[in-house]
Structure 1
Amino acid sequence: MANVVETLGKLERRVTISVPRDAVQQEVDGRLRQLAKTFRMPGFRPGKAPMKVVASQYGGQVQAEVLSDKVGSAFFEVQRAENLKVAGQPRFEPKLSAEGDADDSTIAFDATFEVYPEVTLGDVATAEVKRTVTNIGDDEVTRTLDILRKQRVTFAPRGDGEKVQDGDRVTVDFVGKIDGEAFAGGSAEDFVFTLGEGRMLPEFEKASVGLGAGESREFDLAFPEDYHGKDVAGKTAQFTVTIKQIELPQLPELDGEFAKTLGVADGDIDKMRTEVKDNLEREAKRRAQAELKNSVMDALLKLAADLEVPKALVEQDQQRLVELARQDLEQRGVPNAKTAPIPAEMFRDQAERRVKLGLILAELVAANDLKAKPDQIRKEVEEFAKSYEDPKEVVRWYYSNQQRLSEMEAYVVENNVVEFVTARAKVTDEEVPFEKLGATA
């Protein structure tokens, strides 16, 4: 008799699975006999213990394993026969016999599961997409070189009588008290910080400006209500700071030696600027593509606004995101990261978006032959490798690991979808400065 698949909701289904009781018992008996061959029991030689003892100790476990195998196999047959696209794992529950039902020849289970939805997209031509455009010129190159110079700043002692200025690195002693009492972390000797970096509270930096070596200043400092030190948060302390050493910043010159520190072996300044520009253009392209991809994905979600996704897939992705968050905490050195409670619910919206987009993209890719081709993957790997010192080694690194190559393949597929949509959608170009590009991507 054909299995009847009940519809419980838009995606939820249920089917009753029955397995012959005698077939289950035969399998259980066979497995117990196999176990008995190696079973050890005091007073008996190995494999000679009574079957009743073996069955008493392992019978329940073996029966559960056999039932799981039999029911799983039977469900797979129903899935194949009914052409069911099952999402996630089914939930099996014993089916109680109806009153007066004398048939005891089978064991029945209700299998409850979800199926994949039919993905119906609106007209892609009605989608609205924003595309950012950025031009890299001399100003962007100069600005980037200034940043690189600041990253390589050195410090030299200021002359006698010179005062602390913004940007200086200072060595200080300080003492802090609240209501006349010292507090934990409120005092230090030979403490070093650079004004303008934001490491210290603004009042502390302001009090240091204008002092010379050996000079002191008293000032009040109000700790913010949300300050990380709970004992002092929201309180006002009285500080005394004493300047011990003042060092002024010295930026490297834009010369051949600086060019060499950026990897330009011959110190050619023009070549340095060209390489910086090339890197900026690659980065601008990457950021613009990321923003365009986000805009396309948002547009696709609007075209499939009524798409309902299987709860099982959302829950699976929530757990994946929880594990990624836990790994991130571990890498940051957070204590008890492996056991810290991370509620899956906080990732629900993100997981639902990812699952929806996964279904939408799968439909688009299948319907329009947008799969990644080998030459596309190779081109993308080589483009990515250009920003490294040894591009050939990076290419080998990708092609030596199938998982890394699969990630690049998925990236290319997404790019194919973006190209497909932007060729048909209503696209608006927006010029954005490089420093703002990708700020919200």
Structure 2
Amino acid sequence: MQITTEVVSGLERRLNVTVPAQRVKSQYDARLKRVAKTAKINGFRPGKVPLSRIQAEYGQGIQQDVINDLVRDTVFEAIEQEKIQAVGMPNIESVDVNDAGLTYKALVEVYPVVTVNSFDGLTVERQISTVNDADVDTMVDNLRKQRQSFAVKDGASADGDQVTFDFEGSIDGELFDGGAAKDFKLVLGSNKMIPGFEAGIVGMKAGEEKVIDVTFPADYQAENLAGKLAQFKINVSQVETAQLPEVDAQFLQLFGIDLAPNEGGIEKLKADVRKNMEREVKSSLRNQLKQQAFDAVLAANEIEVPKAMIAEETTRQRKLMLQQFAQQFGGAQQFDESMLPDELFRDKAERSVKLGVLISKVIADANLQVDQDRVKAMIAETAESYEDPSEVIEYYTNDKQQRAQVEAVVLEDQVVDHILAGAKVTEVTVDYQELLKRNQQQQG
């Protein structure tokens, strides 16, 4: 088999392949004889049809099958023979059968050869945050708010009150779809509505009606409403004030805490809350530092990656989003992949692929191996939040898939440590509440 390789672009290679005529003929003859054994042609018994007649009847189809099989089989032989580290499936551009044999061209993408620049010039910000007593008290209050009830009140509504009302929206006097509701309940200050909507209701009383002016955000998801000034007729039927539960025996029992002296009561609750908060802070800071380090490496190393890898990552991210939709809204049958075009994922997918290539190179260059002591420590840390830590530790230790996921996280942490060892690291103290706000913004 004759093969030549030409460079088409940075990551594209074209293979020019010629399969000898004898190999083509050999496969064609063998397939012709197999067909002859079972072919049914009027006037002949099965297996007794002359090959010339078989060739006349089936020759064209047999030849096309032989060509397809030979291209399928030899293209990977050619890739291996040329020592090409191909990515994705080859694209067959042209096929021809002539006196020399079977000739075709195959376009393949290759895995990029990457050199990671020194980390000396990188600057990474390490955030530091601690949980204080006031943060714990705020979290306990949040736990109470999550279990709050509402009682009817007289007088004007205020932030934190729950208001029940009817509303009807219009633009230039015309009602618009989705702009009306009956007996709608809203906690003022929750910021669930467009800017200005909730503020317009503050101060209204039960039985009061008024019209408020609200402008839809310029980037509102409904393009026909984006940036438009709308009027909403509001009719309030009920105002309720929030009532927080007392931190009593009934409340504490929700968190598995008894008021018995040896259980600690409210102090035990605060200790448990603090422990969970500190665990979340540690995880958040670790993820922030990892993103900072990886972003710095990406910015310092501009590389080209195969389109096939980006396409594969785009598909993976689309499927993940569809799964999330199914879990959130119940049933994937409501959604179609056409709702999620490639453009929605392309930038993120390209970033993910580039980062994966660079991090793989860092791991290879530094010969990093998974630190099993750190794996054990991470499993133990994860298990702390469960009722029976020993059961969780056993699960993660013995389940290969779960352990592999932990090992992947640990190896990423080791990569971060390796990057930071060479980079310039500046430390910035962040208030816990500010850290919480940043996390919510990133998730939103």
In terms of mean alpha carbon deviation, does 255-264 or 278-287 score higher? 255-264
2:114 matched residue in structure 1: 119
In terms of mean alpha carbon deviation, does 344-353 or 171-180 score higher? 171-180
Match of 1:312, SS state, is helix
Deviations along 1:134-178, one digit per CA (max 9) or x if unpaired, are: 1111122112112111111111233xx544333222333556677
1:225-236 equivalences in 2 (<5 Å): 234=228, 236=230
Match of 1:411, SS state, is helix
Residue 293 (structure 1) shift:
0.7
* 1:330–1:338 CA contact under 8 A, matched in 2: no
* 2:96–2:102 CA contact under 8 A, matched in 1: no
Match of 1:423, SS state, is helix
Residue 253 (structure 1) shift:
1.9
* 1:255–1:267 CA contact under 8 A, matched in 2: no
Deviations along 1:387-414, one digit per CA (max 9) or x if unpaired, are: 3344344445545654443332221111
2:162 matched residue in structure 1: 169
Instruction: Tell me the percent identity.
Output: 35
Distance, in Å, in 1 between the alignment partners of 2:411 and 2:192 is 43
1:293 matched residue in structure 2: 290
In terms of mean alpha carbon deviation, does 30-39 or 106-115 score higher? 30-39
In terms of mean alpha carbon deviation, does 147-156 or 190-199 score higher? 190-199
Residue 104 (structure 1) shift:
1.2
1:239 matched residue in structure 2: 233
* 1:27–1:66 CA contact under 8 A, matched in 2: no
1:317 matched residue in structure 2: 313
Distance, in Å, in 2 between the alignment partners of 1:145 and 1:38 is 80
Structure 1 residues 28 and 386, CA gap change in structure 2 (3 angstroms): farther
2:77 matched residue in structure 1: 74
Structure 1 residues 310 and 387, CA gap change in structure 2 (3 angstroms): same
Residue 61 (structure 1) shift:
5.5
1:62-211 equivalences in 2 (<5 Å): 62-79=65-82, 83-94=83-94, 104-158=99-153, 161-173=154-166, 189-200=182-193, 205-206=198-199, 208-211=201-204
Distance, in Å, in 2 between the alignment partners of 1:210 and 1:304 is 56
Structure 1 residues 251 and 42, CA gap change in structure 2 (3 angstroms): farther
Structure 1 residues 86 and 154, CA gap change in structure 2 (3 angstroms): same
* 2:168–2:234 CA contact under 8 A, matched in 1: yes
The normalised TM-score by structure 2 is 0.80
1:15 matched residue in structure 2: 15
The normalised TM-score by structure 1 is 0.81
Match of 1:165, SS state, is coil
* 2:213–2:230 CA contact under 8 A, matched in 1: yes
What code does the residue aligned with 2:269 have? Answer: M
Structure 1 residues 86 and 136, CA gap change in structure 2 (3 angstroms): same
Match of 1:252, SS state, is coil
Structure 1 residues 62 and 201, CA gap change in structure 2 (3 angstroms): closer
Structure with the higher helix share, 1 or 2:
2
1:261 matched residue in structure 2: 254
2:359 matched residue in structure 1: 361
Distance, in Å, in 2 between the alignment partners of 1:46 and 1:389 is 73
Match of 1:14, SS state, is strand
In terms of mean alpha carbon deviation, does 291-300 or 105-114 score higher? 105-114
* 1:17–1:74 CA contact under 8 A, matched in 2: no
Structure 1 residues 428 and 78, CA gap change in structure 2 (3 angstroms): same
Structure 1 residues 269 and 38, CA gap change in structure 2 (3 angstroms): farther
Distance, in Å, in 2 between the alignment partners of 1:10 and 1:229 is 42
Distance, in Å, in 2 between the alignment partners of 1:355 and 1:183 is 43
What code does the residue aligned with 2:74 have? Answer: V
Distance, in Å, in 2 between the alignment partners of 1:348 and 1:282 is 34
Structure 1 residues 33 and 2, CA gap change in structure 2 (3 angstroms): closer
Structure 1 residues 48 and 246, CA gap change in structure 2 (3 angstroms): farther
Match of 2:345, SS state, is helix
* 2:165–2:234 CA contact under 8 A, matched in 1: no
Deviations along 1:57-82, one digit per CA (max 9) or x if unpaired, are: 95255224422333234314414xxx
* 1:169–1:194 CA contact under 8 A, matched in 2: yes
Distance, in Å, in 2 between the alignment partners of 1:340 and 1:228 is 18
1:428 matched residue in structure 2: 426
Residue 422 (structure 1) shift:
1.4
1:304 matched residue in structure 2: 301
- 5+ residue gaps, structure 1, are 98-102
Residue 4 (structure 1) shift:
3.8
Count of residue pairs brought into register by the alignment: 428
1:419 matched residue in structure 2: 417
Match of 1:281, SS state, is helix
2:265 is the counterpart of 1:273? no
Match of 2:104, SS state, is strand
Match of 1:349, SS state, is helix
Structure 1 residues 92 and 253, CA gap change in structure 2 (3 angstroms): same
Residue 29 (structure 1) shift:
4.3
Aligned alpha-carbon RMSD (Å): 3.7
Distance, in Å, in 1 between the alignment partners of 2:390 and 2:136 is 27
In terms of mean alpha carbon deviation, does 118-127 or 285-294 score higher? 118-127
Structure 1 residues 16 and 181, CA gap change in structure 2 (3 angstroms): closer
* 1:19–1:70 CA contact under 8 A, matched in 2: no
Distance, in Å, in 1 between the alignment partners of 2:39 and 2:279 is 67
Distance, in Å, in 2 between the alignment partners of 1:77 and 1:127 is 39
Structure 1 residues 164 and 427, CA gap change in structure 2 (3 angstroms): closer
In terms of mean alpha carbon deviation, does 63-72 or 2-11 score higher? 2-11
Match of 1:90, SS state, is strand
In terms of mean alpha carbon deviation, does 116-125 or 32-41 score higher? 32-41
